Structure 1
């Protein structure tokens, strides 16, 4: 399925860039290829919770491949995504910049313009400048184009314009239109006589919807997902045309895995960076037929089991191509877990004794720990000593740390250079970290968490997750209260003031 045509090659050319903080102009890959540089693979899951994996204590849900990966790697028990939702975390991962510094960085519709400035330094761009081939396979959700995208022509700017030589993506999320694969800016399988039209405000005449045509559904919507129907599943947004290009959800994990494997095989003779962004276990949860019923936890459990299998297959590919010893692999998730996120899929009814958040409070959308504290493992065969680390790290830090690994001097002020920490050679991690949930922010510093007062509901009712909103300051000591059950703001006013001062200082920093 992996192919690069002359048209695709032409599309890989883009302008040189200027950077946010102390960056240099990247050289071409061919100028700086170094076979001694390690390959880098980031495996990024979608809505996988801290407690969804065996290596963090899950017993009701089996994740044998991720557990093996963790057993042979370094598990960070204090590893964070930047945010409790997907788009902001992905922005932080690729730019090394706190997402709350840019107002447009929030969950995006499928028609949103690209939110990474093409003149901005990115992780793939800096690695490209150090001789790496760069590829993304899977979920993008950082916007495409400059507005008013014509999906029947080259769609851009997008991943290829911010540093990726190769991209095979879905535009946003599985529950949003357009429901098509996009390779290097072009919709795969699109037929000229069946053009695509997308609208997030009004439906197209004669097109069925989940709201009006429930008889056409194989998966019923619970909240917010009742627009265009594709593959028997109602989505967010309206779509017309492109029938031959539309994906079958049940095949998506296989399609992305095959693309990732093909990329590895084609680039194994030179250093490469692969951002493998799985769609599981985000809704709609549609395991391939061979994984249905594997866990007894319904589709959510089954797609996690499916993702686990994909990760195992990817690691097999690295081993079979004899590059496992020269590849740093990082496994993590974009945010915490959610059970009911818009569809009736038995996720709640079949949850049983499984707790996706593990010992943590909250989940996706939440300022409590389960929103941003996620599975986080680094693996490098014979280079990283297996074990567990309680050092505080963030996905933000991968930007500067991987720059170190590649020999680049690129850094951003928000991303700390912690390569020795990620390689298990140091336990001197972050002192403080701002975490974010739907533009609301809080502070983790040492063993303490500070959450400012926020208006709004205490619980996100459709998904039944505590958001962290409260009318006064909240202060928790995670060393003695990992579940954030006891607010210490009144009994420890000195610590509260210290945390407020640190929080306000970081928030006030102007990096422009």
Structure 2
């Protein structure tokens, strides 16, 4: 058998990542509040994971864990502030694209990168992706966009950004239909700024049930869903549907907040919390996957799967091994997805705050059904006014910057942390009853494990000298 024929039999991977979207944003799960027919159909045809977790409650760290199979602290990508380089994926990290490219896959990323800007060493083309169309920071204007096409910049031409990414994805599929490919399609919808053609907003405004902010988000999701529908049709046309592993998820939970008509707080399956915190609403995210040649569809899978698990799982699905020099936190969950019974790691960890990580704020551990939470300390989640101004300027005046800000972190007064909380998610998935007072020994044990994990990943992060 020739190498070309052998490669062709390997499955393609189309990994679609939305930005700040929750379970409650699917019309299938919210009784028609939104309108997501393509995603709803995918859910019916494929596998829906009910306990799927992002790597972090915010963008960049979560994406780092997804693409490396490692906890974000290890990778150096600890925050969203690209102006300070806190989103940079360490150059020592090996990405999923690196491995697949070395095995003959065509690799591309279209959309949001957010794992290093302002330095060509962190460009997607240097991190395993043959092709890149998108932006490297945390967000982008949907009309006044400036996109990087493999290092060449193009300015907005009147098209809506979500549509641009859909069109570029379809072009990628056509270019690579005769070879195995890995396409990471990273829509920035429905992330801020809340912008979408008014015809997408009107149906939701007419319902009279939502703020304008929620209507804008539902409109943005509807537009993205329509694009996904076009991509699904293209896969059928190109006869790629059966041997393509298609995955859809979000980098973290939905963004809530805002005032008056621009408030974005909405239904999210009654999970506690939202983007930015480690309660379920911030880290438990939808995952729909379909692979007709490899999975029986029409199923729900209840086992816990974390972003770090996709690196080894997708390699296994492609018949490939994890390189020996990589130390992963993830595990191969392919047998679980194929309906087999398998023992797997049931302990997982999260932690995030602004600037240097602080264990006592916004951290969590899952051990089977039990979840320990160190609640967020609000003072640790604030961005300085200067950094907020720089973040906006990077999007609209990028030519003013040629390096990250290397000033000391802003000074902060951090108060004593609140008491740890304990929840049994099997009995209380919405984290309504804190059981810490009833199980002090369990709390103490889990706190020690969380501390050991944090010390280990932080020790590795501190070895990064870039």
> Per the alignment, do residues 115 and 328 of structure 1 end up closer, same or farther by CA in structure 2, a change over 3 Å counting?
same
For the residue of structure 1 that corresponds to 2:426, the secondary structure is coil
TM-score, reference length from structure 1: 0.73
**Matches of 2:364 and 2:305 in 1, distance apart?**
16
Alignment partner for residue 162 of structure 2, among 245, 253, 257?
253
Compute the displacement of 1:251 (Å).
0.9
User: Which residue of structure 1 aligns with residue 139 of structure 2?
Assistant: 174
For the residue of structure 2 that corresponds to 1:262, the secondary structure is helix
> Per the alignment, do residues 84 and 294 of structure 1 end up closer, same or farther by CA in structure 2, a change over 3 Å counting?
same
TM-score, reference length from structure 2: 0.80
User: Which residue of structure 1 aligns with residue 447 of structure 2?
Assistant: 500
User: Which residue of structure 2 aligns with residue 302 of structure 1?
Assistant: 219
2:20 and 2:250 in contact (8 A); partners too? yes
Compute the displacement of 1:483 (Å).
1.4
1:45 and 1:280 in contact (8 A); partners too? yes
User: Which residue of structure 1 aligns with residue 54 of structure 2?
Assistant: 81
CA deviation profile, 1:388-440 (whole Å, cap 9, x unmatched):
11100011111111122231233533111212223444464431111233344
Compute the displacement of 1:111 (Å).
7.6
**Matches of 1:376 and 1:108 in 2, distance apart?**
26
**Matches of 2:148 and 2:84 in 1, distance apart?**
14
1:77 and 1:375 in contact (8 A); partners too? yes
Structure 1, unaligned runs of 5 or more: 1-29, 147-154, 189-244, 462-468
Structure 2, unaligned runs of 5 or more: 206-213, 384-415
For the residue of structure 1 that corresponds to 2:9, the secondary structure is coil
User: Which residue of structure 1 aligns with residue 38 of structure 2?
Assistant: 65
Matches within 5 A, 1:142-221: 142-146=115-119, 157-175=122-140, 179-188=145-154
Greater share of helix residues, 1 or 2?
2
Deviates more, 1:434-443 or 1:398-407: 434-443
Compute the displacement of 1:145 (Å).
4.0
Say if 2:332 is the partner of 1:400: no
> Per the alignment, do residues 278 and 33 of structure 1 end up closer, same or farther by CA in structure 2, a change over 3 Å counting?
farther
**Matches of 1:46 and 1:329 in 2, distance apart?**
17
Compute the displacement of 1:441 (Å).
2.2
CA deviation profile, 1:260-290 (whole Å, cap 9, x unmatched):
0000111010100000001111011222354
Matches within 5 A, 1:107-506: 107-109=80-82, 112=85, 115-146=88-119, 157-175=122-140, 179-188=145-154, 245-246=155-156, 248=158, 251-296=160-205, 297-340=214-257, 346-348=261-263, 354-355=266-267, 357-385=268-296, 386-406=298-318, 407-410=320-323, 412-426=327-341, 428-438=343-353, 439=357, 440-452=362-374, 455-456=377-378, 471-506=418-453
User: Which residue of structure 1 aligns with residue 209 of structure 2?
Assistant: none
> Per the alignment, do residues 470 and 182 of structure 1 end up closer, same or farther by CA in structure 2, a change over 3 Å counting?
same
Say if 2:10 is the partner of 1:37: yes
> Per the alignment, do residues 494 and 282 of structure 1 end up closer, same or farther by CA in structure 2, a change over 3 Å counting?
same
For the residue of structure 1 that corresponds to 2:433, the secondary structure is coil
CA deviation profile, 1:358-395 (whole Å, cap 9, x unmatched):
12100000111110100111111253222111100011
Aligned residues: 405
> Per the alignment, do residues 37 and 279 of structure 1 end up closer, same or farther by CA in structure 2, a change over 3 Å counting?
same
